[in-house]
Amino acid sequence: MARQYNFRKRVMVTGGAGFLGSHLIDRLLDQGHEVLCVDNLFTGAKLNIDHLRTHERFEFLRHDVTMPLYVEVDEIYNLACPASPIHYQHDPVQTTKTSVHGAINMLGLAKRTGAKIFQASTSEVYGDPAVHPQPEDYWGYVNPVGPRSCYDEGKRCAETLFFDYRRQHGLGIKVARIFNTYGPRMHPADGRVVSNFIIAALKGEPIPIYGDGSQTRSFCYVDDLVEGFLRLMATDDAVTGPINLGNPGEFSMRELAEKVIAITGSKSEISHLPLPQDDPRQRQPDISRAKATLDWQPTVALDEGLVRTVEYFRRFA
């Protein structure tokens, strides 16, 4: 069984050198915990955790979660997986392995140590949804053989594994479905819409919009999302999820581009490119469950979050 502490825990974060993982680690350290950051640095970056190198309660381990890991921990946040189309389509077989084999290995570790384990799932499990906004009991509309399937179906299978480990072994699990998140430490070349738009605007280059720009997304600032992670992990064993975590404010791609141009003061123009295969037309979370169960909802407005994110990206322009 896991060791018991009154307050301090030993927490492992896989994908901890990534965008979300590094922000989560900051919060965990602020709470007084010991943190083991596990990352193979495929999309994560040491720059994101460089400020923690000398922290007495921080440890970094370069490791691929598709391989078993034998450590002693009290809680596991499983965030390891490329999360942008450019990165997860670079090696789709490895992407599926990271989601599936990674989940098996981390669940096995949690079973051995008695650790509570959190799975960072995704709104992509809903595919191109026929229900809007998307509640957790909607099963999705996903192409199982398309170019995005390595990520979509990998995450769906990981959720299956988590709930089967719960049913079969009584494991303490938490599953969060993450909707579009943005903020400082996003990879500048990850191909996601917020980073794409900001980098293009800062360079004065055309801002690329796929299709006519009417497709919508809901953007959650990273600090809000991490707060949701921590609240979900702190719930009692009866709360498993899945729980949507995202900002229900819905914006079209054209609206986002116009906001970025205004905030950066750019002279960039909007260019239109063909719509990628299986790109969802709408994406908006129903966060009723998060409000009721976690007393959680986003507090950072899109304009405010974009200002903070633009300041971070100025170093890369």
pLDDT tens digits for range 13-31: 999 999 999 999 999 999 9
pLDDT at site 3: 45
Kindly tell me if the per-residue pLDDT of 135 is higher than 80. yes
pLDDT at site 99: 96
SS3 (DSSP) at 209: strand
Question: How far from chain centre, in Å, is Cα 23?
Answer: 11
Mean pLDDT of 222-238: 98
Q: At what angle do helices 253-264 and 302-313 cross, to 10 degrees?
A: 60
Q: Catalogue all structural domains in the chain, each as residue range(s) with its CATH number.
A: 10-183+221-247+285-298 (3.40.50.720)
pLDDT at site 283: 82
pLDDT at site 109: 98
Question: How far from chain centre, in Å, is Cα 243?
Answer: 13
Mean pLDDT estimate for the chain: 93
Q: With pLDDT > 90 as the criterion, what percentage of the chain qualifies?
A: 79
2 pLDDT band, cuts 50/70/90, is very low
Kindly tell me if the per-residue pLDDT of 5 is higher than 80. no
pLDDT at site 278: 57
pLDDT at site 279: 65
pLDDT at site 110: 98
Q: State yes or no: is 210 an active-site residue.
A: no
pLDDT at site 96: 94
Kindly tell me if the per-residue pLDDT of 280 is higher than 80. no
pLDDT at site 274: 83
Residue tagged active-site, from 77, 88, 126, 151? 151
Least confident window among 99-108, 182-191, 229-238, 261-270: 182-191
To the question of pTM greater than 0.85 for the whole model, the response is yes
